[in-house]
């Protein structure tokens, strides 16, 4: 089974017992403990799982049942959107052990990612541990590392072509899944590190899921369409499926972390000890580096698996996402009482605009040296 022990970065220490966090956690727990709430949540995510798998099957059936290029592409688009939905609403909860109270069910749902082409083992280390423990920290959060293609955060090296990153990144977002599935997973395992952090190589059942997932995925996602439709149409189906899935997954992540309202931190150099270590309040750090968006958009909330309530997700990742919409007002109210920063962009469009303004800003050369921050100081807003 997956190793759940976080690899602690010795350069930073989190305070997880601040009065603000203890009080917020108490309110969240009290809300979730109301009779019937947890069971209703699990029923909701089970229904959603069926709908999304059905949508993936329907996309495949539509795309492979014809030689009409328009219908093949429409089927690929539906399959890709369903893949992204499964990633955000099923695999993500399983990977965070929020899908069920049964560990085996959570592991099975986490392995949906392997069925979709990417390794749940690598994801666990890259997202479940590195990103969630150290969001928006340079050198520790691999999810903000798109170098050299893009500069997503202050302190990352700037290249001249980054001036145009707000124009070309949407195209690359559509291609990032391919790189992730067919290159990054193997590279990370061969190197044995994610960013600066060592990761365990998969053994036993985890190794079987890694290898089996890659093979099964290759069979249904590429070999089957090519066998049924021939090379040109089969590849077109595969390309559209991956482009739509990759674009959605990349953009949803960016809207929560790489926007003007989010903060970024630079870790002290390796070898830092004692008082030079970065001392952070766990909850305040999560809230400073993460932004909610479009809280009133119910359809979006359903589709993205509550990831528009990313601040809530980062505070309580082991809570099933179907509860996030109800928890967000609790978080906002508690933040207001304790004077803690909570940021929410009111609409999807406003979040998209903020992300592209951020890309333009990071694409411009630094006016004076590096603008890396060493403490949780607002860069914008
Ligand atoms: Zn997560």
Residue 56 included in any domain = yes
| Residue 274 confidence class, pLDDT cut points 50, 70, 90 | low
How many Å lie between the centroid of ligand 1 and the Cα of residue 302? 16
Residue 7 included in any domain = no
> Mean pLDDT of all residues in the chain?
89
Residue 233 included in any domain = yes
- Write out the residue range of the structural domain in which residue 148 sits: 12-363
* CB-CB contact of 45 with 93 (8 Å): yes
Q: Is the pLDDT of residue 301 over 70?
A: yes
How many Å lie between the centroid of ligand 1 and the Cα of residue 230? 38
pLDDT tens per residue across span 130-146: 889 889 988 788 888 88
Output the pLDDT for position 2.
Answer: 35
Residue 183 included in any domain = yes
Output the pLDDT for position 182.
Answer: 85
Q: Is the pLDDT of residue 201 over 90?
A: no
Give the C-alpha separation, 181 to 184, whole Å: 6
Output the pLDDT for position 371.
Answer: 41
Among candidates 327, 328, 312, 331, which has minimal Cα distance to 32?
327
| Residue 181 confidence class, pLDDT cut points 50, 70, 90 | confident
Residue 2 included in any domain = no
How many Å lie between the centroid of ligand 1 and the Cα of residue 237? 29
User: From the DSSP assignment, how many helices (H) and strands (E) are in the chain?
Assistant: 18, 8
How many Å lie between the centroid of ligand 1 and the Cα of residue 314? 7
How many Å lie between the centroid of ligand 1 and the Cα of residue 131? 8
How many Å lie between the centroid of ligand 1 and the Cα of residue 254? 13
* pTM, 2 dp: 0.90
| Residue 273 confidence class, pLDDT cut points 50, 70, 90 | low
Q: Is the pLDDT of residue 377 over 70?
A: no
Detail the DSSP E strand segments found in the chain.
12-15, 137-138, 193-194, 197-198, 265-266, 278-281, 292-293, 344-345
How many Å lie between the centroid of ligand 1 and the Cα of residue 140? 15
Give the C-alpha separation, 277 to 265, whole Å: 13
| Exposure on the CB side of residue 355, measured as CA atoms within 13 A | 25
Reading the block at residue 223, the tokens are 């070999």
Residue with tokens 């919409």: 325
For a pLDDT cut of 70, what percent of the chain falls above it? Answer: 91
Q: Is the pLDDT of residue 24 over 80?
A: yes
How many Å lie between the centroid of ligand 1 and the Cα of residue 87? 11
Residue 26 included in any domain = yes
Output the pLDDT for position 200.
Answer: 83
How many Å lie between the centroid of ligand 1 and the Cα of residue 95? 8
How many Å lie between the centroid of ligand 1 and the Cα of residue 111? 15
Among candidates 338, 228, 329, which has minimal Cα distance to 283?
338
Total count of domains within the chain: 1
* Mean of pLDDT values over 335-363: 95
* CB-CB contact of 317 with 233 (8 Å): no
pLDDT tens per residue across span 65-118: 988 999 999 999 999 999 999 999 999 999 999 999 999 999 999 999 999 999
Residue 376 included in any domain = no
């Amino acid at each position: 089974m997956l190793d759940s022990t976080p690899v602690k970065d010795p350069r930073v220490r989190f305070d997880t017992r601040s009065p603000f966090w203890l009080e917020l956690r108490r309110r969240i727990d009290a809300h979730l403990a109301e009779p019937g709430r947890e069971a209703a949540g699990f029923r909701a995510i089970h229904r959603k799982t069926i709908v999304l798998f059905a949508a993936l099957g329907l996309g495949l059936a539509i795309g492979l049942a014809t030689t009409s290029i328009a219908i093949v592409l429409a089927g690929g688009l539906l399959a890709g959107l369903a893949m992204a939905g499964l990633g955000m609403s099923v695999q993500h909860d399983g990977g965070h052990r929020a899908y069920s109270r049964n560990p085996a069910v959570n592991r099975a749902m986490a392995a949906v990612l392997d069925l979709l082409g990417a390794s749940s083992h690598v994801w666990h280390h890259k997202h479940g541990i590195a990103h969630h423990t150290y969001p928006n920290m340079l050198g520790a959060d691999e999810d903000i590392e798109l170098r050299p293609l893009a500069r997503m955060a202050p302190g990352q090296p700037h290249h001249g072509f980054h001036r145009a990153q707000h124009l070309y990144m949407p195209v690359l977002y559509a291609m990032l899944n391919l790189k992730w599935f067919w290159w990054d997973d193997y590279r990370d395992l061969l190197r044995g590190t994610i960013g600066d952090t060592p990761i365990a190589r998969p053994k036993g059942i985890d190794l079987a899921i890694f290898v089996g997932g890659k093979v099964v995925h290759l069979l249904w996602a590429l070999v089957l369409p090519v066998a049924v439709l021939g090379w040109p149409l089969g590849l077109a189906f595969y390309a559209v499926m991956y482009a739509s899935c990759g674009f959605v997954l990349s953009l949803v992540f960016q809207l929560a972390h790489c926007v003007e309202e989010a903060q970024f931190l630079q870790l002290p150099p390796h070898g830092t000890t004692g008082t030079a270590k970065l001392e952070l309040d766990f909850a305040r750090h999560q809230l400073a580096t993460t932004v909610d968006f479009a809280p009133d958009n119910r359809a979006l909330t359903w589709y993205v698996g509550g990831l528009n309530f990313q601040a809530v997700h980062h505070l309580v990742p082991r809570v099933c996402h179907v509860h996030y919409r109800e928890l967000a007002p609790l978080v906002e109210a508690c933040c207001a009482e304790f004077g803690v920063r909570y940021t929410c962009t009111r609409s999807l469009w406003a979040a998209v605009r903020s992300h592209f303004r951020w890309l333009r800003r990071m694409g411009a050369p630094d006016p004076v040296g590096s603008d890396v921050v060493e403490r949780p100081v607002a860069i914008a807003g």
